[in-house]
A = this chain, B = another copy of it.
Amino acid sequence: MALKIEPSLFPFFKPKGVMVVGVSQNPTKLGFGLARNLVQSGYSGAIHFVNPRGGTLLERPVYPTIAAVPDPVDLAVLLVPAAVTPQALAECGERGIQAAIIASGGFRETGTDGLALEDQCVQVARNYGIRLIGPNCIGLLDTHLPLDTTFLPPPGPTPGDVAFISHSGAICAAVIDWARGQGFGLSRLVSLGNQADVRETDVLVSVAADPYTRVITLYLEGVSDGRRFVRAATAVAREKPVLALKVGRYASGQKAVASHTGALAGSESAFEAAFRRAGVIRAETSEELFDWARTLAWCPLPKGPRVAVLTNAGGPAVTAADALEAQGLQLAELGAQTRQGLAEFLPAAASVGNPVDMLAGASPQDFNRALRLLLDDEQVDSVIVIFPPPPLYTAGGVARAIIPTIYAAQKPVLAAVLGERMIQEAVEYFRAARVVEYRFPERAAAALAVLWERAQFLTAVPGKPQRITDVHVDIAHQALRQQHEPGFLPPEVVNDLLAAYGIPVPSIALAETAVQAAQLADEMGYPVALKVASADIPHKSDVGGVRLNLLNGAQVQRAFDEIMTAVQVAVETAVPQPHIEGIHVQRMIPQGQEVIIGAVQDPQFGPLVMFGSGGVEVEGLQDVTFSLAPLTRAEAEEMLARTWAGRKLHGFRNIPAADREAVIDAILRLAQLAADFPQLQEIEINPLRVLEQGQGAFAVDGRARFG
Contacts and interface: CB of A to CB of B under 8 A. Distances in A.
Interface of A: 28, 30, 33, 105-106, 109-111, 114, 151-153, 166-171, 173-174, 176-178, 180-182, 219, 221, 245, 247-251, 284-287, 311-316, 318-319, 321-323, 325-326, 348-349, 359-360, 388-389, 391-392, 418-423, 439-443, 539, 541-542, 616-617, 620-621, 623, 644, 647-648, 652-655
A465 B338 CA distance: 54
B322 A153 contact: no
A181 B442 CA distance: 18
Given A169-B315, A180-B421, A219-B315, 11 more contacts: A106-B349, A111-B349, A167-B315, A171-B418, A173-B388, A247-B319, A250-B321, A250-B326, A284-B442, A287-B443, A617-B652
Given A349-B109, A389-B173, A322 B418 contact: no
B423 A177 contact: yes
A73 to B, nearest CB: 26
Contacts of A392: 28
Contacts of A647: 620
A640 to B, nearest CB: 13
B654 A315 contact: no
A621 B613 CA distance: 10
27 contacts: A105-B359, A110-B349, A111-B348, A151-B391, A152-B391, A168-B316, A170-B313, A170-B360, A170-B388, A171-B313, A173-B419, A176-B419, A178-B439, A180-B420, A182-B420, A247-B315, A248-B322, A250-B326, A285-B319, A285-B323, A285-B440, A286-B440, A287-B439, A541-B653, A542-B653, A617-B644, A621-B644
A389 B312 contact: no
B221 A440 contact: no
Contacts of A114: 349
A658 to B, nearest CB: 14
A391 B620 contact: no
Interface centre among A111, A247, A321 (most CB of B within 10 A): A247
A616 B110 contact: no
Given A153-B391, A247-B315, A286-B319, A654 B542 contact: yes
A250 B542 CA distance: 44
B171 A648 contact: no
Contacts of A388: 170-171, 173-174, 177
A616 B654 CA distance: 8
Contact of A178 (B181, B284, B418, B539): B418
A599 B35 CA distance: 72
Contacts of A316: 168, 170-171, 174, 286
A284 B319 CA distance: 10
Nearest to A151: B391
Contact of A421 (B110, B181, B621): B181
Given A177-B422, A441-B286, A315 B620 contact: no
